[in-house]
Amino acid sequence: MAIDFTLTAQQKEVQAAARDFAQNVLAPITKKIDEEPNPLAGFQLAKPAYAEACRRGLAFSMLPKKYGGGGLSNVDFVLAAEEIQAVDPGFGTTVLVNGLGLMPVWYYGTEEQKERFIRTATTDQSEEFIVGYAASEPPGSPGGTANFDAPAVGGAGMGVTATLDGDEYVINGRKYWPCNVGGWDNQGANLNLVVVRTDPSAGGTSGLSAIIVERGTPGITYNSISTSAQRSAPNCEIIFDNARVPAANMLEGAKGNGDLLINRNFAWSGPVAGIGAVAVARAAYEDALEWAKTYTAGGPEPIINYQYPGYVLGDVAAQIEAARYFCWKGAHYLDQHDYHGEMLGAMCKIHCTEMLFDCVYKCMQVVGVNSVDKKNKFDRYLREAALLPLYDAGNFGMQRRRVHGVMADPSFNPRAVMDDEAVEFTKAMEAIDTIPGARMDEALTKAP
């Protein structure tokens, strides 16, 4: 039969290898990282684990074998990601961002750029090579990265500019929130993929591009951001002050298509963020179940033998299973359709990350007031649950708008995903609701 949820022997090996890494390499250090008040110092505590991830082929496992990567399918990568994120979702994000920075080079770069950037990463022997992805920008007026594709002239939502000057681009402006970009010392990741505005006179649907910025480029400052969750994933503010980057670093296929790059990137990361939610929910559920099987609350039997804990944990288990298979479906869809799944990836990320908060809180209700004792880890699960719907193209930022844009398009087939048909994502599907009333005004002008 075509539908089969049985893992192959190879997939079981991928899962087991990731589980071994998570339990034996990550687990001993994750609490210390989470409690370290200095965000850069906390990230540096993860460096030995990252080195081991490089040695084991995990750090660049998502990249094609043709350029030295691990060649994992999206389904296989999701299997590994669940095991890692069940122990430390922040470390999972760090690895994910390696892909967000380099997968677009595979999609949109020239052959020379693929060899120069992807192979450099996959063949590096330092065991600390790291890649950043810089799209997010600080709020302002205009501002707010969620409106990156707004057609308004003047750069609504994306204000970092790249101006061609001879054989170099001069970059100016600020990014806020990008992950991995500061590297291990806030002097820059080895490579950063930066979304820039190359045409300030055009709107986001035509004026954006993407360029690779290499470590050591003058005119760039990185400042750490201290976050409440995913402490092992480093976020930074980046300030570009006349930073000069070779024009040869501009991704050829992304010139004027930086908007499509962003949407494709977050479509790819959707099932990975979704499986991160599954992973955190799984960890909370397993802890709550163990609690319920051993804690009596002074009664004659462990509380698992009473209706409320049993029913609640049964509901949580069902939600986790359903979300896991949604992530597998999303990843499989990407594998089937040339890494395009702009609508389904967003739906998966939204559904799974919003399931997470409900699951974690229900687990806390089973454990009761003891769940706020930090030694029981539920405070961390709750912080991670609050973060996941907000990061990775936030659910009320880019994700729901992407789904809305596809559904509103006249070409949309509501049965396409069910029938495993490709859903093409075009510029016409972007920017919905970024200018209040714009779609309605357009519809009214076309009305008879």
Distances (CA, A) of 428 to 195, 346, 408, 413: 20, 17, 10, 16
Largest CA distance in the chain: 80
User: What's the residue count for the chain?
Assistant: 448
pLDDT class of 205 with cuts at 50, 70, 90: confident
The runs of H, that is alpha helices, within 244-305 are: 258-294
Contact at 8 Å (CB) between 2 and 29? no
Class of the CATH-defined domain 260-441:
mainly alpha
DSSP 198-253: S-TTS-TTTSEEEEEEETT-SSEEEEEE--SS-TTS-EEEEEEEEEEEEGGGB-GG
Q: Report pLDDT for 146.
A: 81
Pull the structure tokens for residue 369.
């007031």
User: Could you tell me the end-to-end alpha-carbon distance of the chain, in angstroms, rounded to an integer?
Assistant: 51
Pull the structure tokens for residue 325.
């298979």
- Alpha-carbon span 188 to 27, nearest angstrom: 27
Q: What is the mean pLDDT of residues 17-35?
A: 97
313-333 confidence digits (pLDDT tens): 999 999 999 999 999 999 999
Q: Report pLDDT for 154.
A: 62
Residue 440 predicted with pLDDT over 50: no
Q: Report pLDDT for 201.
A: 86
DSSP 91-134: HHHHHHHHHHHHHHHHHHS-HHHIIIIIHHHHH--SS---EEEE
146-182 confidence digits (pLDDT tens): 888 888 766 678 889 999 999 999 999 999 999 999 9
Q: Who has greater pLDDT, 96 or 2?
A: 96
Q: Who has greater pLDDT, 150 or 95?
A: 95
Domain residues of the chain, as ranges? 9-123, 131-255, 260-441
Query: Exposed, middle or buried, 347 (CB in 10 Å: 0-12/13-18/19+)?
Result: buried
Fold classification of 131-255 is: Butyryl-CoA Dehydrogenase, subunit A; domain 2 (2.40.110)
Q: Report pLDDT for 145.
A: 79
CB count within 10 Å of CB 48 equals 12
CATH 1.10.540.10 at 9-123, yes or no:
yes
Residue 259 predicted with pLDDT over 70: yes
Residue 143 predicted with pLDDT over 50: yes
